[in-house]
Structure formats: C-alpha cells, structure tokens
C-alpha cells in the first residue's frame, strides 16, 4: 500500500488543485480527531486519502475507495505533500509517473459501467479472481470474437493484466475491481458461456468469504446460457470436498469431476504444484435450464434534508439488524465547512458492501458509488432512510 510518513506540514488550503490532483474537502473523525479523510480526484477517479497523526503523521489511500491503477494514489500523495510543504520522513512512493503501458486503461471499468451498459452484443465469458491473467489472456486471444470479463480485487494483478492488454493490443477484455459475488447479480440471465473460478482462496478459517456457495452457484446457473459451464479448479482437497457437497445440495444438476486434468494454459502456481506432485481438482457444472429474465430496477435516491447532526451522532458506532440484512454505522466524520460523512458496512450478512454516505445541506449521496442494484440492497437502503429519520 503506498504511504508517506510526514514530520510536519503547513495548513492545507482545501479545496485546491495541485498537479494532477484536486482536493475537495476534509472530514475529521468525530471520535478520533487525529484521523481525517480528504476527498480527492485524479484523472476523473474519486477516492479518499487517509491521514493519521498518531504516533506520527501518515498519509495513504483509504482502503474502501482506493482506485486502480496505483499511480493515481502515488500522484495524490505526492501532490498532497506539495500542497502542505511537508517534510517527508519515509516513503514507499517513488514516482507518480504512469507506466507507458497504462497510458490507456479503458479495459478497467467501474462497476457502474455494468449497471448501466452491460455488454450483451457477443458471446460472453467471466473469470473470477484472474490473478496473473495468464488464463484470461490466453482465452481472449483464442476467442477474439468473444468478450471476457475479468473480476479481481488484487490491485497489482489488475495492473499486470492492464499492461499485457496494452502490450498485446487485446480489445476483448474488460476488467472490474469488485466482489464477484455481488457482481454476478448485475449480469442478465442466460448470456454467459463460461464462468471460470480457478484456484480461489480456500478461506479455511473464514468459510463465509469463499466465492463458491449455494447462493453463488444458483446465481451462476441463472446467468449461464443453456449448456454454459461453471468451472471450478482448485489445488485444495478441503475446498474440493466443500464445493462438491455444495454443488450436490442443489435439487438437480449436471456435474463433471476431473482430477489432475491438463488444460491448454496453466498458472505459475499450478506449474509449481505439479512439480510438487500436488493434486488438482476440477468441478464443472453444465447448465441445462433457461432462467427467467432478471429484473433489478431499483433506485437508491434519498429524500432531502437528512443532515440531522443529533441523529447521526446517535447512530455512530451502532449496528442495526433486520430480516435479511444489517447496517453498521462504523465511523462518523465532520466535514470542514459543513456536512457529515458516515463510513458504513451494509447489505446481506454473507455479502456486505463497504462504502461512505455523504450528508450535505440538502443532498445525501453514496460514495464512491451506489450499492449494487439488488433487491436485498434496496431493502437495506429503505431501512437506512428510516434509521436516518429516527
């Protein structure tokens, strides 16, 4: 994670434009005044810089909103140092220069792109957790008339694949930095030919974080075309047994099982495991049914005048639970010049979202984007409005 330790600084005049970065406002944690968030925009991407004073002043990207590619964070941190005339004690930010192969990063799309413009004009494949991208890129090159969507939350992996897309001039891959379990709920029914889940993190100690679950498999069946396939590939025998039992809990299915099957392209980790004579398992679900059209016409607008400082302080730190979901009001911030800001966890217990809610004099908005358009999230949104009204 890019970060800089500072010894001293002058007062930051915000809003301000410095270099590539625009700094819009500062918000201070009401319970821990040594923690602040700075609303930042670089190359039309909006995110927060996190500032902490104890034990020494630290600036870095906020975890929830941090953008890709990483050079955007580097630019913002260095521009903030310039803005405040700060003395740098230590830093792992060496340059804010954009890699020559990241000059064009049109393949990387925000999740909002898919809520508004989901591509349905050609054969579609999805790879979840593409890692180094070796399999994703191989498939895209082998099937130039198809579209491949790669889903990944590991930022270095995203940048590595973006560079390869540029170097090899690949035009049939789109990338998204998002939770795949949530992303699947955006996909229209019956349009995906293949879903690849190769070597997912086993999460033996936190099984609720696994990609494969009964709900995920049911969502995969909905988006797959007839004879479309969900392909799980794992080196974990424990994960294989868990996944097999999860698949078999469905009322009906067509399932292929392979052990140590060779495929056209393998990851560097798979190559290593084969040298170690470690077993590799494949579970391939073949969809045999057509699903009804998927409807997610929901709206996440707020009524006016929700900036009630007393009520927001009452909610700070509280968790509200109800049938099918929860809202955790994690941290409340006061915005300099007026307004408030809440850091929230909300949604279903299995697949929560983490975002911010900005309260202005008349307007309330989610940041950096609205929750994904699902019925569960809309129910949570309605409950959130009730809680804000008190």
Q: Which domain holds residue 349?
A: 309-389
Q: Mind listing the pLDDT tens digit for each residue in 153-206?
A: 888 899 899 999 999 999 999 999 988 988 998 899 999 999 999 999 998 888
Residues in the chain predicted with pLDDT less than 50, given as ranges, are none
Smallest Cα–Cα separation from 191: which of 283, 256, 118, 295? Answer: 118
The contacts of residue 56 (CB under 8 Å, 6+ apart) are 5, 6, 7, 89
Q: State whether 7 and 130 are in the same domain.
A: no
Q: What is the pLDDT of residue 103?
A: 53
- Output the pLDDT for position 213: 94
Is residue 291 domain-resident?
Answer: no
Contact 268, 134 (CB under 8 A): yes
pLDDT of residue 67: 87
Q: How much is the pLDDT for 271? A: 79
Same domain, yes or no: 47 and 185:
no
pLDDT value at residue 100: 56
Q: Which of 329, 305, 312 is nearest to 380 (CA)?
A: 329
* 131 in the same domain as 79: no
Q: Which of 28, 38, 19 is nearest to 83 (CA)?
A: 19
pLDDT at 101 (0 to 100): 52
Does 275 share its domain with 129? yes
Residue 175 near residue 278, CB atoms below 8 Å = no
Residue 299 lies in a domain: no
List the alpha helices (DSSP H) in the chain: 71-84, 111-117, 134-142, 155-167, 180-183, 214-223, 237-248, 268-275, 309-315, 375-389
Alpha helices, H only, 45-184: 71-84, 111-117, 134-142, 155-167, 180-183
Tell me what pLDDT residue 348 has: 85
Q: Print burial letters for 197-215: b (CB count within 10 Å at least 16), e (below 16).
A: bbbbebeeeeeeebbbbee
Please say which residue of 59, 91, 123 terminates a domain.
91
C-alpha torsion 8→14→18→24, nearest 10:
130
Structural domain contains residue 96:
no
The dihedral over CA atoms of 130, 132, 138, 144, expressed in degrees to the nearest 10, equals 60
**Same-domain check for residues 64 and 164:** no
Q: Is the peptide bond before 368 cis (omega within 30 degrees of 0)?
A: yes
Please check whether residues 152 and 265 belong to one and the same domain. yes
Identify whether the C-beta of residue 32 lies closer than 8 Å to the C-beta of residue 54: no
Same domain, 75 and 124: no
Do 231 and 347 belong together in one domain?
Answer: no
* CA–CA separation, 26 and 334 (whole Å): 8
Tokens 């792992």 correspond to what residue?
A: 92
Residue 304 forms part of a structural domain: no
Q: If DSSP codes are grouped into helix, strand and coil, which group holds residue 384?
A: helix
CATH number at residue 130: 3.40.50.150
Residues 223 and 264 in one domain: yes
Does one domain contain both 235 and 201?
A: yes
Report whether 77 contacts 90 (CB < 8 A).
no
Q: Are residues 143 and 277 in the same domain?
A: yes
In a domain, 298, yes or no: no
Q: How many domains does the chain have?
A: 3
| Same-domain pairing of 105 and 85 | no
Using the 3D structure, point to which of 91, 126, 151 is the last residue of a domain: 91
Classify residue 181: in a domain, yes or no: yes
Per-residue confidence (pLDDT) for residue 207, from 0 to 100:
87
Beta strands in the chain (DSSP E): 3-8, 16-18, 21-29, 35-42, 45-52, 57-61, 87-91, 108-109, 124-128, 147-151, 173-176, 192-198, 224-234, 254-259, 281-286, 319-322, 325-335, 340-347, 352-359, 364-367
Q: Which of 155, 238, 247 is nearest to 203 (CA)?
A: 238
Q: Is residue 303 part of a domain?
A: no
Last-in-domain residue among 54, 72, 91: 91
Determine, yes or no, domain membership for 300: no
Which tens digits make up the pLDDT trace of 292-323? 988 767 889 999 889 999 999 999 999 999 88
């Amino acid at each position: 994670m890019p970060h800089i330790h500072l010894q001293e600084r002058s007062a930051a005049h915000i809003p301000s434009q410095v270099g590539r970065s625009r700094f819009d406002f500062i918000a201070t944690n009401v319970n821990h005044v040594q923690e602040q968030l700075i609303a930042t925009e670089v190359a039309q991407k909006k995110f927060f810089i996190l500032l902490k004073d104890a034990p020494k002043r630290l600036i870095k990207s906020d975890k929830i909103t941090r953008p890709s590619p990483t050079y955007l964070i580097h630019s913002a941190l260095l521009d903030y140092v310039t803005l405040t005339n700060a003395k740098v004690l230590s830093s792992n930010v060496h340059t804010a220069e954009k890699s020559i192969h990241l000059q064009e990063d049109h393949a990387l799309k925000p999740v909002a792109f898919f809520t508004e413009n989901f591509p349905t004009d050609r054969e579609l494949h999805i790879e979840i957790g593409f890692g180094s991208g070796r399999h994703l890129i191989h498939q895209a090159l082998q099937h130039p008339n198809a579209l491949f969507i790669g889903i990944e939350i590991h930022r270095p992996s995203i940048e590595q694949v973006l560079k390869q897309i540029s170097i090899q001039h690949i035009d049939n891959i789109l990338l998204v930095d998002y939770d795949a379990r949530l992303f699947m709920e955006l996909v229209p029914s019956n349009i995906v030919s293949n879903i690849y889940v190769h070597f997912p993190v086993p999460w033996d100690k936190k099984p609720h974080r696994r990609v494969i679950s009964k709900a995920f498999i049911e969502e995969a069946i909905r988006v797959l075309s007839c004879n479309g396939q969900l392909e799980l590939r794992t080196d974990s025998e424990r994960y294989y047994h868990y996944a097999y039992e999860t698949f078999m809990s469905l009322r009906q299915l067509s399932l292929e099982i392979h052990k140590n099957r060779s495929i056209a392209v393998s990851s560097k980790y798979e190559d290593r495991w084969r040298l170690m004579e470690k077993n590799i398992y494949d579970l391939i679900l073949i969809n045999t049914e057509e699903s009804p059209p998927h409807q997610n016409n929901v709206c996440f607008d707020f009524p006016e005048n929700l900036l009630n400082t007393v009520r927001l302080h009452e909610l700070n730190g509280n968790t509200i639970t109800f049938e099918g979901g929860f809202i955790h009001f994690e941290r409340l911030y006061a915005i300099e010049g007026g307004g408030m800001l809440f850091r929230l966890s909300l949604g279903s217990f299995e697949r929560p979202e983490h975002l911010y809610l900005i309260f202005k004099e008349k307007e309330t908005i989610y940041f950096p984007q609205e929750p994904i358009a699902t019925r569960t999230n809309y129910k949570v949104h309605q409950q959130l409005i009730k809680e804000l009204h008190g």
